[in-house]
Structure 1
Amino acid sequence: MAIAVSARSLTKSFGRREVLHGVDFEVQAGSVFGVIGPNAAGKTTTMRCLLDIIRPTGGEVRVLGVDPRTGGPELRRRIGYLPGELFLEGRVTGRKLLSHYQAISGPVPPGRIDELAQRLGLDLDRHTRKLSKGNKQKLGLVQAFMHQPELLVLDEPTSGLDPLVQQEFHSMLREARQRGQTVFLSSHVLSEVQQTADTVAILRGGRIIAVESVAGLREGAVRHLRFTATGTAAADAVALLGTVPGAGNVEVLESNGTVTLSAVLEGPIQPLLQALGRLELTDLVLEEPDLEESVLKMYAGPGEGVR
């Protein structure tokens, strides 16, 4: 499959401080690529390097097959960008502002702007200075999506949006992917990218520490387990659970001939099922994988760089 965006040994320094340390990734065309990380991990800096808003200190970047430093307006018209900090001209209506963007970005299908505004619940005839943060964010989303670009670069796109509008945004992302558009999405909230991303890169302190499919993250995620068994001693049940790879943090409650154990499981569940098959279970709860908990463990570490 074609590669829409790539970075090789990408570094960026501000003065003597290096804030991106040899970042490497590839984004397949037609996919949704999510970059997650705590604030000040380097997400925004990476995006700005991709868009030639700032220049890398070292390494190589390709966007839609082009070096963004030489792509010029022709490349920019193929991209829809929503910055993390959106500044809008305050003396015009949203409709007039989008008309200005349309002249820059290129052809927009008839009725497309009104359709997106209606879906997001945005009044285009209000002056932008009177818009709330959430409505300004909606306006930014419309300008990014309206010309159906080959590549969408979205920095914290759901910031300020209420839950219902967030769901509509996720629908827009899925439709973009179905049309073959590529999406590069950043967030510090895993659940935001989990719903729509094909691949997730975890960025910490200016370094990518993992690149995984969402399915891969789920396989290695933290699960919380609780079961009750009869006909076995607590020590034997604990020892049996100790044979399961990734099982830990075991707590035991023994009462009236039954044993209840709670534990945390990191890894595949098949070994757990094989072990539990030796017990007489009266109750079993295995919670959905907690991806947030797994990723927070990856976040833990020394200094974080910049956004």
Structure 2
Amino acid sequence: MFLGQAKDKVVELLAEGRFGEARELALRSRGAYPKQRALTEIWVAETLCRTGDDDTALAVLRDALDEGVWWWHELLAVNPPLRGLQGRPEFAEIVRRSEEHRDRAPRETTPIVFEPEGPPRGVLVPLHARADRHSGFARRWKPFSTAGFRVVVPQSSEVTTSDGDLGWIDEGLARAQVAELCADVADGLPLVLAGYSQGARFAAEWSMSGAVPGATGFIALCPPDHRMPEITEATRPSPCVVLTGEHDDDRPAAERFAAGLAERGFDVRLNVMADTGHTYPKDFGDRIHAALAHVCVSST
């Protein structure tokens, strides 16, 4: 069982109220994914918090930290399932020690590009989350090149876990990097910003604000509650799609965001994905193809 499959199963068990089974499955996963140790340990802690075992969650994080695992502080401090740990001195010490160990050496930022077989009809720029692998994230979006899109996948230069996952820590740097890349690859074509989790927030924010001037619209997959983009009088309406999981902690915020967009005159579609948490749905390809059709057709 891959880590993603274990996570999906735990979402299913929790939704059915089978908390003991969810807890045991999470605990059995410890040590099963050595190349994803940081992501595994924090997920186990999240699951334990969901089942009411905050003390064991703290022990899991502390033990992992003692063994060299670390996370960017936001992965711990801005994490809905871990909210119950906020205010506890032991948790504050874990956050402090973890950030102290963070690797701040910048990585290369070469984008991955997938060209369609014929002339592109548009450009799709998906933005990864705050703890992602560039190559794995890019593979998820590659199939949309068969629909005629030039798929350009940027990567952050900043590492957010001891696994080597990447995330957007310096938001000003991220915004400038993506805006410059989009200007270089657009070639006058419709340009769609998309993203997952943290990347979803940026896709929406930078499209609405004009930070990426050529953006036609955006696709936000599991946008997080934390710092959801503000919709103001200056916000420019554009076609967009917001997708959120039925069991996603951030679902209420995503629904409020979509409602606010509709009130401001955006041509927005809200898609609540059944039996899904804060993750990619099983029918990801079909949902994004439909989202691309909405954004591109509505903009013409």
The TM tier, using the shorter chain, reads: under 0.3
- Which has the larger strand fraction? 1
Q: Which has the higher contact order (CA 8 A, sep 6+)?
A: 1
Which is greater in Rg? 1
TM-score normalised to structure 1 length: 0.26
TM-score normalised to structure 2 length: 0.26
